[in-house]
Amino acid sequence: LYFDCLAWAYRLGKGPDSDTHAVPQAVARLAEAALEEGRFPLAAKLARERLDISDSPLARSVLKRLPLDLGD
């Protein structure tokens, strides 16, 4: 349920410009939730997307906790 709610926040905050998001913290939290569920490629993609918007300690933390072949 938590992941699904975050996914909706992600969808609702997504605009036509990929460099912005109305709720950027939702992107980082969704990345963290994906990591906790073992969805490593999705977690990596979302964490990098969040870092493209602006710096995020949570997104950097997600990347550090990923398996070596996915993280930075």
Give residue-wise pLDDT tens across range 13-68: 887 766 677 888 999 999 999 999 999 999 999 999 999 989 999 999 999 999 98
Answer whether 37's CB lies under 8 Å from 8's CB.
Answer: no
Q: 3-state DSSP call for residue 23? A: coil
pLDDT of amino acid 15: 74
Answer whether 31's CB lies under 8 Å from 50's CB.
Answer: yes
Hey, what amino acid is at 23? V
How many Cβ atoms sit within 10 Å of the Cβ of residue 34?
A: 22
d(CA 40, CA 19): 22
Higher pLDDT, 71 or 69: 69
d(CA 42, CA 47): 8
pLDDT of amino acid 33: 96
